[in-house]
Structure 1
Amino acid sequence: MRALTVVPHRAGSLALTEVPDPEPGPDDLLVEGLAIGICGTDREIVAGDYGWAPPGRERLVIGHESLGRVRRAPPGSGFAPGDLVVGLVRRPDPVPCGACAHGQFDMCRNGRYFERGMKERDGYASDLWCADKSYAVRVATGLGMDGVLLQPSSVVAKAWEQVDRVGARAWFEPRTALVTGAGPFGLLAALLGVQRGLTVHVLDRVTVGPKPSLVADLGAAYHTGDVEDVMASIRPDIVIEATGAAEMIIGAIAAIGPYGIVCLTGVTPGGRRITVDAGTLNREIVLENAVVIGAIDANLSHYVAGARALAEADPGWLARLITRRVPLRRYTEAFERREDDVKVMLMNE
């Protein structure tokens, strides 16, 4: 079968290659691959910056944002041929640590987890793939190909869950949220915020293209400009940070109000330094009982929550989030950065 593969840490190695068909185990679904979403991590892997092949192998099948159709399912699994499904990304470490042993492999303590399409396990960019029935989630049929948005939705579902858990340390009744960044993670975070009944604001640097109208059509407010100025005007209770930009992160932390929560979901590249008044920053966080947390990846409960959020969303709005749908035969185009891109989907023909 065909699979999109790379040699990790070797730039220019991306290729559509022939690999053996998967052999499903007794608890595995056999799935026809329909599409994968492309994100910044995929581009880093293709650029040779990241990724590990399965042990004993040179090449890694990429693709962690999956969508497929079940061909064969184990009896009693709860799945049936024809179901649309998404495979989970992370797998618990083999030791396992305490978190992994309790199904919270997104919070692995020792770093020995595996990740499909990234770390020692093949991803989903292939004609066929297998997934243990415990690591797959059914997607509402009505979502169709837009079900490929489930993996990023699961990550922001986790972010909102973590905000709830931190907020529950005392009386917590947030009303206003700011999402920094109007990429796929930011827009999906805004969607979940609106679904929670919050007044949602989104901050991004662009003034043209699809992002401002996507935010407006959620019933949220779109802003450009300095993060501290925006926060001073709207006074958010919660910030979901989805850019990974160092200046944005520090600005949000510095400007959050009393009992405010800043949840970081964007990963900042290393190598760039900025000057921070750490003493003042510490003083403001401590004296105002503010909290800064990080959230990455997701476990099964977050995928389920993400699937529910997508099923409740406006299908037309979700479809507009996917701004390019690229056939597999033109796979190189999916990794090009274009000005009006929000989410790029690579489709099996």
Structure 2
Amino acid sequence: MKAMRLEAIGKLFVREVEKPVPGSEDLLVRVEACGICGTDRHLLHGEFPSTPPVTLGHEFCGIVEVVGEAVKGFKPGMRITGDPNISCGLCPQCQAGRVNLCANLKAIGISRDGGFADYVIVPQKQAFDIPLTLPPEHGAFCEPLACCLHCIDMARIKAGSSVIVLGGGVIGLLTVQLARLAGATTVILSTRQESKRRLAEELGATASFDPSEDDPIGGLAGLKGLLPGGADVVIECAGVRETVMQAPKLAKSGGTVVILGVLAQGEKVEIEPFDILFRELRLIGSFINPHTHRRAADLVASGKINVEKLISRKITLDEAPETIRNPARAGEIKVLVMAGT
């Protein structure tokens, strides 16, 4: 079968490899769709921990082809989405329910072979069924949506809250929709790209702005009368140094700032501790998707989250290495690797 292998830092190729064999508690899944994530670019450049050689791809769905003898609840022909993050269940963090902070965390597509392949092995505890009537490309959004759900949970958004989302990529646009579902009445997206601002407002943002043109608090408050004291919640989704530094300045006193975007490992930013102290800001990180994958799969299947408008391109597995080697195209949101395209 074909698989896209990260053979070493900077070395990404499609190779012919042996079709994997499932263990007793595993599913062998024929991959239908797998999303390209910004983390895949970080992995290529050694900016996110991984264990090459490994097949990349952690946002996938597919059809169960074979089940191990100890598998229960799954059978061939079912469609599943895979939660790539595998916790040990034994370390102190797992025992405390913080499975995303597991000391022995492994991830499909990062530390074990993933979904940029014809087939992938998924442990049954990481598999979640989704309808066969659902377009397979929609199933590939379950993993990023699950990460955004954890962020929304951490942010503690209440009915009537105001939220600023920094970054107009797939994570930002999913977060806009979830913030509205959580009850936020004001959701403002910040991104430099006009097409993404327009799309954000189609998807539920109440306003948007270009951070290169507007001062988000003074400018927007003066020009449009929005959020004169800042937002209840600011969510950084861009994974960019400038927006991480900007985020606390946009929160109201007593507000919450959540870092959801992924910066390169080792990258540092400047903050003003006095401002965080004096205004009693809550500054937190949100890491992956503990116990949220089922909810994400159900939301995608329900149609309450619009993922179709987030699909920019569908490509073949052979085209994937070059796509990951290059920066995302202007205005691009999500590129999907599709079986049979």
- After superposition, give the CA deviation of every residue in 1:301-345 in whole Å (9 maximum; x if it has no partner): 210121122233357x41120101111132234323211210111
- SS of 2:231's partner is coil
**TM-score when normalising by structure 2:** 0.86
Residue 330 of structure 1: which of 306, 310, 319 is its match? 319
**Matching residue of 1:3:** 3
Give the helix-richer structure, 1 or 2.
1
Query: Shift of the alpha carbon at 1:261?
Result: 1.4
AA paired with 1:325?
K
Change (3 A) 1:227 1:73: farther
Alpha-carbon displacement from aligned partner over 1:19-60 (angstroms, at most 9, x marks no partner): 22211122211210112111111012223444433xxxx621
Which residue in the other structure is 1:72 paired with?
A: 66
Deviation of 1:200 after TM superposition, in Å, equals: 4.0
Aligned to 1:344: 335
- Alignment partner of 1:85: what SS? strand
1:196-275 matches, cutoff 5 A: 196-209=182-195, 211-220=196-205, 221-225=207-211, 226-229=215-218, 233-234=226-227, 235-269=230-264
Does 2:8 align with 1:22? Answer: no
Q: Any gaps of 5 or more consecutive residues in structure 1?
A: none
Helix, strand or coil: the match of 1:100? helix
Superposed displacement of residue 298, structure 1: 1.2
1:98 and 1:219 map into 2 onto residues whose CA distance is: 40
Quick one: which amino acid aligns to residue 107 of structure 2? Answer: E
RMSD: 2.5
Question: In the aligned structure 2, how far is the partner of 1:259 from the partner of 1:48?
Answer: 37
Partner of residue 309, structure 1: 299
Given residue 175 of structure 1, which amino acid in structure 2 is its aligned partner?
A: S
Corresponding position of 1:161: 153
Alpha-carbon distance in 2 for matches of 1:62, 1:7: 10
SS at match of 1:106: helix
Task: Measure the CA separation in 2 of the matches of 1:343 and 1:123.
Answer: 18
Does the Cα contact within 8 Å between 1:69 and 1:85 map onto a contact in 2? Answer: yes
* Residues 141, 103 of structure 1: alpha-carbon distance in 2 compared, 3 angstrom cutoff: farther
1:41 aligns with 2:39: yes
Of stretches 243-252 and 257-266 in structure 1, the one that deviates more from structure 2 is 243-252
Of stretches 154-163 and 133-142 in structure 1, the one that deviates more from structure 2 is 133-142
Report if the CA contact (8 A) 1:174-1:237 is conserved: no
Percentage of pairs with the same residue = 27
2:172 maps to which residue? 186
Report the Cα offset of residue 271 of structure 1.
7.0
Separation in structure 1 between the aligned mates of residue 62 and residue 182 of structure 2, nearest angstrom: 29
Assess, with a 3 A threshold, how the Cα gap between structure 1 residues 4 and 230 changes in structure 2: closer, same or farther: farther
Q: Take 1:273 and 1:99, find their aligned partners in 2: how far apart are those partners?
A: 26
- CA contact under 8 A between 2:33 and 2:139: conserved in structure 1? no
Q: 1: distance between equivalents of 2:270 and 2:49? A: 31
Normalization by structure 1: what TM-score? 0.84
Tell me whether 1:99 sits opposite 2:93 in the alignment.
yes
Tell me what 1:176 maps to. 162
Note the alpha carbon deviations across 1:135-184, whole angstroms, 9 max, x for none.
111223343121101110000111111223xx7xxxx6542222111111
CA distance in 2, matches of 1:231, 1:76: 55
Counterpart AA for 2:337: L
Which residue of the partner structure matches residue 62 of structure 1?
A: 56
Q: Could you tell me which amino acid in structure 2 is paired with residue 21 of structure 1?
A: K
| Stretch of structure 1 that moved more, 32-41 or 66-75 | 66-75
Q: Secondary structure of 1:68's match? A: strand
Please, which of 273, 290, 306 is the counterpart of residue 278 of structure 1?
Answer: 273
